[in-house]
Chains A and B, each alone.
Chain A
């Protein structure tokens, strides 16, 4: 069985537990092993590289060395993914940081670990045909706006995944899950990230634009692949309707929760909001009715 080293990161232990459990459930259903990186530590996001790039590479590099025992490393959090991948690129070229790690008993062999996001890992599985026959509960009629955010495909020289301006991998995954991906304008726009702490006004304006674009495109839900994006998009929707001109509330779910639903994974692991589940079922029903009428 193919096994990845799995790097959950701090968010998935706290604010985004459902992203963690649903990701594990999806890969379990696909027959892909996820083995948690033993004794993993902070990836350094999103501050370390602002303080000292070498330090950031060393902090993330520790995790790469630990992962190399298992294999290629997957990170569900877009921010972890980018920290680890940037470190892998730095370590490739910078022997000084490698020496620093070595002095601390961590030998890194350049090229020994490939860093990918869970979206990329799932998309690879899709391309290999590993979804075939496994979508037993398709998300019929559900209109999904796939939201990639900034770090999943950017910067392109580091991310090396999908079209940087018009990524389609998550859309294809949603299509494979039986849902209808909507064409929309804001799939890679910035959600404001940690700026919510610094400049609430700016961040909420950005979030409002993203959500309004999804609503205008006719989406039922927004699929996210980053705990930070998810948090920014989910919180304060009612407040934004009052003060920031948000057109209507829209549910935000992790792409893994939707995939897991279609793969008929354990409901407890997926931990989908009851209201979203009712919406999914409603759309399925509508699809069946149309079929019967047709």
Chain B
């Protein structure tokens, strides 16, 4: 028979305000097996823990029930407490009297009754607890960074500088991400490329970083310290090892003015063989197989022709002829790489809201209504207009420019309800750039309210207004249409309380940030979750902001939620620190509360193998008998196999069928 000790915590007034803790404690002593029961103000405090330790020693308690807050909060604390008293840390059961009782029950009597029921259940369960010992796993001290924007770059450099090996995977032909597309950055007006490019080069040259561009992660297996990752290296059709980056091929591609360049937000062309932008890293072109004429034309070897007739040749092939290095290789195929990593960093960034969803702003069909990103490329000296601010419809300088904020953000009807956090600031910056480049142009900014929370941000907006003379109008624009060569904006000025009609030459929409369209698919590949919008969910928004629910996986930057460059860089640094902490261990303790399959009971039906979400169960054979076996390092302790196992061979340690049945029995009997 066990000797169970029960400790009821007041949690200040959190529990004691709703639950008669003295009554629960007094009644608990009558539960069979309980030899000691008391209540105290804060069990988690140092004094509270000492009471527990002393009581265990004095009363020869061998199993402990603590009625307190959620086990998510303090289970680990109390495990350590009872370990100090000489018990196995797993001889503990928490009855959640706060989240499950006092916080959610209105009436004091029923709260007290429910609290006592939960204590009975916990005593029943802990009576059948068995001592558990954690296993050990080694740590592969290499990190995978997915995404080559500023978030990934910062995280990769920081981890590499700690002396660990990093592999960076970027799906585009170059690293740089969104930041590379921007002209200036707020609130300092630094040139974005000037502060980013050196870091891009650092990544490429760092001895500890291996860069895989034009590549995507296909599969992730394993567990913290030991992930097995499959990476698809898409065929570039250009041999990186011999290409000198002369770009002769790019200038000779007959399609060089035909395909919209994604980097320029589609507002400037590229060829079928291209580098996305001048400062691309690596500066090696790729061939886009969706467009390349050579690759699209049929293979002559597969065509059968009548005798005497000539076989048709492949089309084009100009780049191959022009390349003096012979770096063009049309036979190249996608390559699958398998690598082992100890940690994975997600730095996959964000997308921008599609203006097509705004019919009232022309649904993307009015040429002079452009997005903020279009403007970034336009105002950039290496962009489609070489930095000249012009109306896309006629190439003339605009005399009046209007900005509209919150397009897609804070719009539950057509977009997303959240604030994108960057648009107020980038609009102020763009307003300044217009006034700098076109001092004669008038600038109007339509806003809902200005959210400029950040170092130097409010001052920056004030500068846009006072120093640069941008006119801020509080109100939404309800419609934009073309009339006699101008745009007409219908709006409300909510400060004057009057409708407003205004002519403008160009309108720039501050489209909000949204999750990448493939973020949910990637999250599924890695086995983590996203929020309702597709952003990666963190474990705790305040205390674990860069950890995700799969141990050993971290996320940073705008993949988590909309954020600006300073916050992105800060979270990237935080991720690097977390990876450093992980890699400071040679060996990790694994959670012993994992599944175990008794080979003597197992009938080898395979049900558990099918239901296991972590592929942690395999079929084994020993002396002719087949049975299922759990890889304890891969098991996450979800218990699905145990539920599926008909003979009851699969048991989750610490949550065995026996323990659960005893806890139900305890509630029903008493």
Contacts and interface: CB of A to CB of B under 8 A. Distances in A.
A165 interface: yes
B530 to A, nearest CB: 28
A216 B483 contact: yes
A165 B484 contact: no
A166 B366 CA distance: 13
B483 A166 contact: no
Interface in B343-380: 358-360, 362-363, 365
A183 B484 contact: no
Interface of A: 156, 163-167, 183, 185-186, 213, 216
Contacts of A156: 413
A167 B359 CA distance: 8
B481 interface: yes
A164 B362 CA distance: 12
Contacts of A216: 483-484
B482 interface: yes
Nearest to A186: B481
Given A213-B483, A216-B483, A183 B365 contact: yes
Interface string B482-506: 1110001000000000000000000
Contact of B358 (A165, A185, A186, A213): A165
A164 B359 contact: yes
B359 A213 contact: no
Interface of B: 358-360, 362-363, 365, 413, 479, 481-484, 488
Contacts of B413: 156
A163 B481 CA distance: 16
Contact of B360 (A166, A183, A186, A213): A166
Contacts of B360: 165-166
B363 A166 contact: yes
Given A165-B358, A213-B483, 11 more contacts: A163-B363, A164-B359, A165-B359, A165-B363, A167-B359, A183-B365, A185-B481, A185-B483, A186-B481, A213-B481, A216-B484
A216 B485 CA distance: 11
Contacts of A163: 359, 363
A167 B363 CA distance: 11
The 6 closest A-B pairs by CB, nearest first: A166-B359, A185-B481, A165-B359, A165-B360, A163-B359, A166-B363
A231 to B, nearest CB: 24
Nearest to A183: B365
A118 B628 CA distance: 64
Nearest to B484: A216
Contacts of B488: 185
Nearest to B480: A185
B406 to A, nearest CB: 16
Contacts of B359: 163-167
Contacts of A167: 359
B541 to A, nearest CB: 32
A185 B363 contact: no
A217 to B, nearest CB: 9
23 contacts: A156-B413, A163-B359, A163-B363, A164-B359, A165-B358, A165-B359, A165-B360, A165-B363, A165-B479, A166-B359, A166-B360, A166-B362, A166-B363, A167-B359, A183-B365, A185-B479, A185-B481, A185-B483, A185-B488, A213-B481, A213-B483, A216-B483, A216-B484
Nearest to B358: A165
A165 B490 CA distance: 13
A64 to B, nearest CB: 27
B479 to A, nearest CB: 8
A156 B413 CA distance: 10
B573 to A, nearest CB: 43
A163 B357 CA distance: 9
Question: Most chain-B CB neighbours within 10 Å: which of A164, A183, A185, A213?
Answer: A185
A165 B363 CA distance: 9
A7 B363 CA distance: 34
Question: Most chain-B CB neighbours within 10 Å: which of A166, A183, A186?
Answer: A166
Question: Most chain-B CB neighbours within 10 Å: which of A164, A165, A213, A216?
Answer: A165
Nearest to B360: A165
Nearest to A165: B359
A164 B360 CA distance: 9
A84 B471 CA distance: 45
B504 to A, nearest CB: 14
Question: Most chain-A CB neighbours within 10 Å: which of B359, B479, B484?
Answer: B359
A216 B483 CA distance: 8
Contacts of B479: 165, 185
A166 B359 CA distance: 5
Contacts of B362: 166
A183 B488 CA distance: 15
B362 to A, nearest CB: 8
Nearest to A156: B413
A186 B488 CA distance: 12
A164 B478 CA distance: 12
A61 B56 CA distance: 74
Contacts of A183: 365
A186 B481 CA distance: 8
A185 B365 CA distance: 12
A163 B414 CA distance: 11
Contacts of B358: 165
Contacts of B483: 185, 213, 216
Nearest to B490: A189
Contacts of A213: 481, 483
A166 B363 CA distance: 8
A197 to B, nearest CB: 23
Question: Most chain-A CB neighbours within 10 Å: which of B358, B482, B484?
Answer: B482
A166 to B, nearest CB: 3
A128 to B, nearest CB: 25
Nearest to A167: B359
A183 B367 CA distance: 13
Nearest to B481: A185
Nearest to A164: B359
A198 to B, nearest CB: 19
B287 to A, nearest CB: 38
Nearest to A166: B359
A185 B484 CA distance: 12
A166 B484 CA distance: 20
B355 to A, nearest CB: 12
A18 B359 CA distance: 32
A63 B360 CA distance: 35
B498 to A, nearest CB: 15
A186 B479 CA distance: 10
A165 B360 CA distance: 5
Nearest to B356: A166
Contacts of A165: 358-360, 363, 479
A177 to B, nearest CB: 22
A185 B487 CA distance: 10
Contacts of B365: 183
Contacts of A166: 359-360, 362-363
Nearest to B413: A156
Contacts of A164: 359
A183 to B, nearest CB: 7
Contacts of A186: 481
A47 B479 CA distance: 28
Contacts of B481: 185-186, 213
